[in-house]
Amino acid sequence: MPYVATRHNSLIAHVISIVFGLIALIILLHLAFVLLEANAGNPLVAFIADLANWFSWLFRDMFTIDDPKVRAVVNYGLAALVYLLIGGVLTGFGRRWRAAD
């Protein structure tokens, strides 16, 4: 039975890794749109911006730097990094955790 539990835990860890990676990707895509001055009126750009703002609400105004591009890199970059770190830690715990027999 430990083999099944290990396989199951590995699947959960993989799903967690994908979810947190996608969140970080959304934030980084928004950051790229900001740096490249994408058209904010474009529906895709607006949709990604809304998602990124929702996921990074704790980090959006953490540092108030005068240059808006530098402020975006610092705040959104930090948010993406935190999501990647949390996802990595949870994935690591999920791969190491074993069910009791």
Per-residue pLDDT of the chain (101 residues; tens, 9 = 90+): 444 455 667 788 889 999 999 999 999 999 999 999 999 999 999 999 999 999 999 998 899 999 999 999 999 999 999 999 999 999 888 777 654 44
Report pLDDT for 1. Answer: 45
| Token pair in block for residue 34 | 């900001």
What CA–CA distance (Å, rounded) separates 9 from 61? 37
Q: Give me the helices (H) in 1-101, please.
A: 2-35, 43-55, 68-96
Report pLDDT for 30. Answer: 97
Cβ proximity of 97 and 5 under 8 Å: no
Report pLDDT for 27. Answer: 97
